[in-house]
Every structure is written in C-alpha cells, then in structure tokens.
Chains A and B, each alone.
Chain A
C-alpha cells in the first residue's frame, strides 16, 4: 500500500533549470510536508502545507486538496539543491505517511 506516491524517483537537471517534483496521496490529510535529505542522512523540514501555496527563496510548494496532489518547484536550480526530497502527509488520525523520495542531482 502506498498512501503517498512521488514522481519522478530520480531527476537530473542542469544548473539554472526549473524543477518540479510531484506528490500524490490517497488519504484524507490534515497537513502535507516537504522534507529535504542531504547526503549523509540529515532531514530538514522545508514546508508544511494545508492549502494553497508557500514560497521560501527559490522553493515553491503548492497543494490541491481536491485533487490530492502537491508539487515542489525549485527555480534557478543550483548544485547545492542536490538532495532527496520527501513528501509526507499527516492524516486526520494523526498518522504520518512518507513517500519514497525523489533523488535530485543538479549538474553545474
């Protein structure tokens, strides 16, 4: 059972490209998170969304509750953006479900 599906699994981009990572989920949610995991393992929280859109620097996250879909966009990508991006949702029962991650490599 995959309550959270991400695409693509792997993504390689040239520096400067606009990048989109997609997340679809099948459960009713209270919130959706985008996480970033750098090589070496540490995970940081990028965004928490329950509706609409959020922006932080070159990162933009959107969510469509009706379609059960979220996207993470990176504008003007840079090699330091290379990481695994993980979508996670918290359902109304307070349970977290994680996607398997999208591995992004940005080439100089």
Chain B
C-alpha cells in the first residue's frame, strides 16, 4: 500500500531531551516536507526537500533540523525541544511539484514537550 509512515504517533518528552520523528514513504517520491499544525494557525511548513541531500527552510524552521540521506526517509530532529514546540506534526511527500502531484500526508505525530 502506498503510504507515508510517521513514527511515533504520540510522544511526550521533557524540555531539552533530543528527539527524532521519523518519516518514510514507499512511493519513490522526490519531494518531502514537514509541517506543524497549531490551533488558529493552520499548517505551517517547517522544512522541505526536493531531492536527496537537498533541504530548505519553510516558514518556521527555528528549533528543527532535517536530513535527506536517502529518498524514502526524511526525519525531523528536535535537538533541544521546548514547550512551544508542542504541536501536531505532519510529514508529506509528492512525486513532483504542481497540480498533478498533490501532497500525501502521514498520520501525524502529536508531540507534547513539558
């Protein structure tokens, strides 16, 4: 089944403890991206990648890192999480840019930082 898999689905952690949210897609998509969803703010793009080893900042990259060492994986790294990073996170992928390549989303990761 074609899908984007995010893990974990729920995560509670403490301030400053490094964590990684994994994202993997099995559709051979070139493009991948991370979003955070907050009430009243909608989805905001954190980072995106248009190819292996190519990443770029979205609108809210502060406090996050990503890597794209292989096409299928695009982990999101929080080196020192803070409470303002408590959010719902989504990974998404698409074959290319544009109208005929809509985003395929993972099921989301609910992160709580205390």
- Decide if A and B are genuine partners: no
Task: List residues of A whose CB falls within 8 A of some B CB.
Answer: none
Task: List residues of B whose CB falls within 8 A of some A CB.
Answer: none
